[in-house]
Structure 1
């Protein structure tokens, strides 16, 4: 079944409350997906720097890993450890080298996302537990998306939890089920797109990545998915500057949005939105099927 949420802040005064608002929305969706949960938050970033969202086993020594990544010209990379995850900030010019180093020397560490501003966290467990483990309520930023999972087609694992990265500062959460994900998985692997789990949602993320590598914008990739992705789905995608929404052509899965002068919010159900400030005066609507929506700040 799964539950997804998204929150885009128009009012900078609310940025310090983003994490608390997103945590509340996510936890309300618990009974739509108690197996695992995850979220992406878009906070501050530095030009010519990139953040790698890393995941490893409990009690992993991320500080030792960061020391091993010490760069002569830049010193130790920035490091923030939260539970089984860590955010490592490095010079953007060194990203390829660091990725290669981790793959060769530290295969036990997974890179779950990358970008100037995006940070991804996900884990097995109830949304409230996951949010507490990673300190979501205390995070600040301009926007974020989240997911609670009810596993159907694959095992309950941290690797199978959402969000899934689709590129730099981009990620996806999905509510629904794809019927052609196995065929797509094989086709994407032939195109060099790594698919690590049996989760159909990772295939959707890989599909968007492949389309964008061919030169499509994210919006164009989503539109192409209306023809290529069989099944039913609601996608919420995070970008560096905002978030987008797409429902399948028959709008099979529930979805509701609310917009005020301060924010735009998405929830699988209206009850995910009821605690947001000013919700009583919000423009509440159901996004149309087969229609790509985006809300983004000017770059």
Structure 2
């Protein structure tokens, strides 16, 4: 049993409140997942640059790290330290060099995800405490997704926390369990998809990355998942331009959505949405099984 939340803002006037609203939603889902939590926020980005989300051990020397990465990038590197995570912004063309330098010089640092706009944070602990550690309530952006985890099939570790990201500006949170994830992992590994954990949710993220790399739009990739991924699940997926929702064909896991002219919101339970502005006039509905929902921001 885990909790999922997602918030996609149609109204740019609400973007300064994204983190505040997402933090409230995440906290409400604490009793569905009290052992760890994580979230992805899609904020401002710079064309031609990529943000690499890192998780570092306590006591890391940020200045030494910055010097190493500047050498690898051949110039401009910007670091933002938030507790155990560091967001490194580098020229997109230098990402491979920066990742190689991290692996060679700082193997203790984990790469959590990367993208022009996406930042990912996750840690062990109560969702409220995790959100406060990273200052979620002060973050701004157009959309975000979050997850509260109750580990029932693996240890309570940060590696097991969601979201999972295997592609640029793409991440996934998952409530449920996949029965064929080991077989799918082997297939995807042959395609070059890299996995950092044994979590089945990371396989789901990798599956979508694979389909997108083959030119499928996200909506079609989610439809393909219905035939290729076996189990019971609710996926909420973030991309640079929006977010999508998919439930398995029998809709085993709870889910509710709310839509107004200002936003679209997702929660494992309605109470996660109850504090949103204008919720009393929202169209509240349960997403249908085996049905893809996807919203994109205007260009």
1:153 aligns with 2:163: no
| 1:215 Cα offset (Å) | 2.8
Equivalent residue runs for 1:72-83 within 5 Å:
75-83=75-83
Question: Contact between 1:67 and 1:76, CA under 8 Å: does it hold in 2?
Answer: no
Are residues 1:53 and 2:28 paired? no
Q: Shift of residue 185 of structure 1?
A: 2.0
Distance 1:154 1:168, change over 3 A: same
What residue number does 1:183 align with? 183
The 10-residue stretch of structure 1 (52-61 or 35-44) with the greater mean CA deviation from structure 2? 52-61
Query: In structure 1, the residue corresponding to 2:70 is in which secondary structure?
Result: coil
Show structure 2 runs of 5+ residues with no match. none
The answer to whether the 8 A contact 1:66-1:76 is kept is no
1:123-272 matches, cutoff 5 A: 123-272=123-272
| Structure 2 Cα separation of the partners of residues 59 and 130 of structure 1 | 19
Secondary structure, counterpart of 1:196 in structure 2: coil
SS at match of 1:26: helix
SS in 1 for 2:177: strand
CA distance in 2: counterparts of 1:124 and 1:137, whole angstroms: 18
- Aligned residue for 1:215, secondary structure, equals coil
Partner Cα distance (1:194, 1:100) in 2: 14
Q: Distance in 1 between matches of 2:252 and 2:123?
A: 27
Cα offsets for 1:175-215 (capped at 9, x unmatched): 11111112222332233222222211111111112222333
Contact 2:73 2:94 in 1 (8 A): no
Structure 2 CA distance for aligned equivalents of residues 227 and 90 of structure 1: 38
**For residue 40 of structure 2, what is the aligned residue in structure 1?**
40
1:148-194 Cα shifts (integer Å, max 9, x gaps)? 01112222111111001131111000011111112222332233222
Distance in 1 (CA, whole Å) between partners of 2:193 and 2:169 is 18
CA contact (8 A) 2:3 2:148 kept: yes
Runs of 4+, deviation exceeding 4 Å = 71-74
Verify the 8 A CA contact 1:153 1:200 in the aligned structure 2: no
SS at match of 2:173: strand
**Paired residues of 2:3 and 2:30 also in contact (CA < 8 A):** yes
Query: What are the superposed Cα offsets for residues 33-79 of structure 1, whole Å, 9 maximum, x if unpaired?
Result: 11110000011011101100011112322332112111598644111
The residue number in structure 2 matching 1:292 is: 292
| Paired residues for 1:110-129 under 5 Å | 110-129=110-129
Q: Distance in 2 between matches of 1:238 and 1:261?
A: 20
Distance in 1 separating the partners of 2:62 and 2:177: 35
Determine helix, strand or coil for the equivalent of 1:107. coil
- Do 2:226 and 2:249's aligned partners in 1 also have CA atoms closer than 8 Å? yes
Question: Normalising to structure 2: TM-score of the pair?
Answer: 0.96
TM-score (ref. length: structure 1): 0.96
| Secondary structure in structure 2 of the residue aligned to 1:140 | coil
